[in-house]
Structure 1
Amino acid sequence: MFAQIKRLGADSLLYAFMNVGTKLIAFIMLPIYTSYLDPAQYGALGYLDRITSMLTFVVIFGTDSALAFYYFDTEDKKKRIDYVRSVMTFRLTVVLITAVVFLIGGQWLSSLFFDEPKLYYLLYIAIGVLALDTVIALILTVLRYEFFTKKVVFFTILKMLLIAILSYGFLAFVTPTMDGIMYGRIISVSIVVILLIKPALKYVRFTFNKKLLKEILKYATPLVPASLAFWVIVNANVIFLKEFTSLREVGIYETAIKFATLITLLTSGVQMAWRPFSMSLKDKKDSPILFAKLYYGILLVGTIGVLFIATVMPWIFQILNDNYYEAYQYVAILSAVTFLNFFYMIISVGIFFSKQTKIISYAFGMAAVINIILNVVLIPLFSIWGSVAAYLISYLIAITYIFFKSQKLYRVPVSFGKMSFLFLTSLAAVMAIVYIQESSLSDWNIAFAWIGYVIVVLLSRIDKDLLRKKSAAN
């Protein structure tokens, strides 16, 4: 038992290191990319990444969760290999079909995506990267199942480092365009596949067990709607921005979202530890009180973090090309949305205790539809701010639905009114900070936004509320 707990702790630390490492590499490369690419070029790169993200979703099609179930459902090693080969064949077949579509309609698709038919070759490179990444991802998944944690961490970080180094090399010495970044990517993933050639030869077989693949797809298909909803919420903004504005606005938005996701450096560790931690407290008498404290505490820390981000962003953005400076004003609100994407897991203990996870799918399915409608309405009126607003509102609706459903299944003694008022106050403070930064007012006025937020926290008397509930419980 102790050995298993020790392994869990060690593996969690290694994966946390991997997550932080990859995000830091991406963050370090951001000022390099923006120094060579103008916002329109960076927007085109970001748009291409969104297309690839969509294709990755189609390629995986829920088979990751299905494979995790069936791989551990059998002790037969040969059957496990057959499961992996079947999934690999399915995914590569989808990639092959996509490649044929790209080859036939390359110029038309390039004109549709980039408003420039001559960039069709970038789609070819992207599909090549996707094919190689598909092989790498499944091999690393199997290594993770077999608890070769160090290898998974090593190859994941190696891939990111190679992409960073080679992309910079091509930008600096060959071509200072998005072509250079794509060349860096295709060479990097090729090197990693070569280094993983032994397991690649083992699993890359264009053959599959029809019965096993049917089992996998039967398990995977119901998971697709939830994954699709998440994809829509995250990516629809960029698609509509490009259609209603231009690739320049996409580039500005992509820059802001890259900074906003840095908040996951703080939340990823908690996110990885939360599920086993919360499940271990499911049947303990005082757990609702503890969860209440954590709900309030995590929300308080998150909102303070968002205000801090809003305050320091103008200084941080000085490391980027001046063409991207305006992106700073969107980062704090996008960080708040990123925080909500983490916080919904915290406040949904009742849903996971009762195994009613379909509620999550309903919530984000509804949010995805709302997100699309809001993007169509708001982006033509407010450009990037419209996109940011659509992103925020859709998440607020989803998290509100999840909170009330979870409370019905497992009541945690917290006030939704206090939590929502605290969060909305932090958003108002952020908007006040951005307004001050954008106007001719002195930056010292930002202190008043902070003071207003602190006053609201003090007036809410969260500590008094919790103490009263604890006394009542005793």
Structure 2
Amino acid sequence: MIAQLKRLGSDSLLYAFMNVGTKLIAFALFPFYTYYLADVAEFGRLDIIDRSLSMLTFLVIFGTDSALAYYYYDVKDTNERLKYIRSVMMIRLTILLVIVGGVFTTGPYLSSWILDGSNYVYLFYIALGTLMLDTILAVVLTVLRYQFKTKKVVLLTLSKMLLIAVLSLAVLHFISPTVEGILMARLAATLAITLLVGTVAVKFIKPIWDKAVFKKILWYAAPLVPASLAFWVILNMNTFVLKEFRSLEEVGIYGTAIKFATFITLLTSGIQLAWRPFSMEKKNNPDTPILFSKIYALLLVVGGIGTLLLTEMMPWIIKVLEDSYQSAYIYVGPIAIATFLNFYYLIISSGIFFTKKTKVISYVFGAVSVFSIVAALLVIPPYGIWGAIVVYVFSYAIATVIIYGKSQQYYYVPLSIVKLISSIVLICASVALLTWIQLMDFTIIWHVLPWILFFVGMFAIRLDKIFKTT
């Protein structure tokens, strides 16, 4: 078991290094974005484009990432594996071509609706070019990850992000200090890295038609598509409601807070990338349930500490931005809870993926997304950003608990759902208390209280018993 943990830890550390690097580069870029896009509404426009692109990314992936993860390890023959890879690439590129046709047909109307002007439609076209290249690159990096070529994945990902940073600064300073400049820099950087892996990419892009393989992939993947759309609704609908009922300025502040909240992924994203190949490889080992229970419990503790630390540090971190953006700091901690849960549910749903019961995830997130839309329309118009945050956190908390309960039915892990719920409530309460203390501008001594609440609470829940099991 120690050897297994070391392997997961080793890959996780490399992926964590990659994500720390990309996040630090993005963080270094962000003050420049706020400097060149001094109008908060302009940043709000960029944020909406990014969120629209994230929805299209979900559609393009079409659940095939989970299908490829399953069949890559299920099939042992190299040529057979290649069929699955090429089939996934074909499915994604076909969906993308349909999307491109739809955007070119309705682009001006979409731009007028969500960007407050039909003259911004060209921004969508630039973003779609980047999405096409990212679609090809993503399959290549996914296969490299499944082959445990972790160093190559890290190098390519960091190179892409670094190139985006360099080109963005050059374009913003010398050519065009606009949203268009940022999008063009992303397109050029993604093109360069895609060309770098061109030989492998061409191998995977080769057309293939194997009805049996397509059927298996789509049978596994299709039930996850509604879930992907539901994820997007939960994650992004608040932004569109804010824009519709409040203002692009509030969208800009909310988007700024979300970008800082993603810093919690410095702790989680390396594990997330390493988890799927690790868990799939270990699923049949008799000791795996106990191993998983320790990992689940450990992540709850680490996630709570991480969200509290981020909340604590935000008043100082936010000072790197222009004054018009600094009010975002108070929202970061609560949003980070939802960001953590967005990662955590993927870890604790292993039983669902092991048994191919992926429809469950679609049903759960589909229902939660409906709740999220209704709640957003009721709460955001009167309460603005705070309303959006409450809906966001509550939606992911409900989904996480339900999915864990279902996963336990298919693959039991000795961590009770009561401990899970209690830990999530404790994290929310601790962060909420610290946020309130910051809002009230109490002296620094008061900041000890949330930390005491968290650690005493974790001891009361007795997660420590999980680590003593053998």
TM-score in terms of structure 2 length: 0.84
Quote the residue 2:439 is aligned against: 435
Post-superposition offset of 1:59:
1.1
Quote the residue 2:100 is aligned against: 99
* Residues in 2 aligned to 1:150 and 1:332: alpha-carbon distance in whole angstroms: 32
Gaps of 5+ in 1: 438-442
Of 115-124 and 230-239, more deviation after overlay is shown by 230-239
Q: Is the Cα–Cα contact under 8 Å of residues 333 and 430 in structure 1 kept in the other structure?
A: no
Quote the residue 1:23 is aligned against: 23
Q: Is the Cα–Cα contact under 8 Å of residues 433 and 449 in structure 1 kept in the other structure?
A: yes
* Residues in 1 aligned to 2:283 and 2:79: alpha-carbon distance in whole angstroms: 35
Of 144-153 and 245-254, more deviation after overlay is shown by 144-153
* SS in structure 2 at match of 1:412: coil
Of 177-186 and 208-217, more deviation after overlay is shown by 208-217
Greater relative contact order (Cα < 8 A, sep 6+): 2
Superposition pairs for residues 141-160 of structure 1, below 5 Å? 141-160=142-161
* SS in structure 2 at match of 1:383: helix
Gaps of 5+ in 2: none
| 1:454 and 2:452 matched | yes
Q: Is the Cα–Cα contact under 8 Å of residues 168 and 181 in structure 2 kept in the other structure?
A: yes
Q: Is the Cα–Cα contact under 8 Å of residues 249 and 384 in structure 1 kept in the other structure?
A: yes
Q: Is the Cα–Cα contact under 8 Å of residues 241 and 384 in structure 1 kept in the other structure?
A: yes
1:342 and 1:285, CA in 2 relative to 1: closer, same or farther beyond 3 A?
Answer: closer
* Residues in 2 aligned to 1:230 and 1:195: alpha-carbon distance in whole angstroms: 32
1:120 and 1:206, CA in 2 relative to 1: closer, same or farther beyond 3 A?
Answer: farther
Post-superposition offset of 1:396:
2.4
Post-superposition offset of 1:55:
0.9
* Residues in 1 aligned to 2:127 and 2:380: alpha-carbon distance in whole angstroms: 28
Q: Is the Cα–Cα contact under 8 Å of residues 85 and 208 in structure 1 kept in the other structure?
A: no
Of 335-344 and 245-254, more deviation after overlay is shown by 335-344
Q: Is the Cα–Cα contact under 8 Å of residues 86 and 204 in structure 2 kept in the other structure?
A: yes
Q: Is the Cα–Cα contact under 8 Å of residues 363 and 399 in structure 1 kept in the other structure?
A: no
* Residues in 2 aligned to 1:72 and 1:353: alpha-carbon distance in whole angstroms: 12
Post-superposition offset of 1:193:
2.2
* Residues in 2 aligned to 1:87 and 1:125: alpha-carbon distance in whole angstroms: 24
Match of 2:415 among 397, 412, 415: 412
Q: Identity percentage over the alignment? A: 48
| 1:204 and 2:205 matched | yes
* Residues in 2 aligned to 1:54 and 1:18: alpha-carbon distance in whole angstroms: 24
Quote the residue 2:264 is aligned against: 263
1:307 and 1:93, CA in 2 relative to 1: closer, same or farther beyond 3 A?
Answer: closer
Alpha-carbon RMSD across the aligned residues, in angstroms, is 3.8
1:97 and 1:150, CA in 2 relative to 1: closer, same or farther beyond 3 A?
Answer: same
Post-superposition offset of 1:43:
1.1
1:434 and 1:100, CA in 2 relative to 1: closer, same or farther beyond 3 A?
Answer: same
* Residues in 2 aligned to 1:71 and 1:146: alpha-carbon distance in whole angstroms: 10
Post-superposition offset of 1:224:
1.8
1:206 and 1:395, CA in 2 relative to 1: closer, same or farther beyond 3 A?
Answer: same
Superposition pairs for residues 318-397 of structure 1, below 5 Å? 318-344=319-345, 359-397=360-398
* Residues in 2 aligned to 1:220 and 1:417: alpha-carbon distance in whole angstroms: 29
* Residues in 1 aligned to 2:6 and 2:420: alpha-carbon distance in whole angstroms: 38
Alignment length (residue pairs): 464
1:230 and 1:447, CA in 2 relative to 1: closer, same or farther beyond 3 A?
Answer: same
* Residues in 1 aligned to 2:108 and 2:60: alpha-carbon distance in whole angstroms: 23
Q: Is the Cα–Cα contact under 8 Å of residues 11 and 274 in structure 2 kept in the other structure?
A: no
Post-superposition offset of 1:36:
0.9
* SS in structure 1 at match of 2:440: helix
* Residues in 2 aligned to 1:216 and 1:347: alpha-carbon distance in whole angstroms: 23
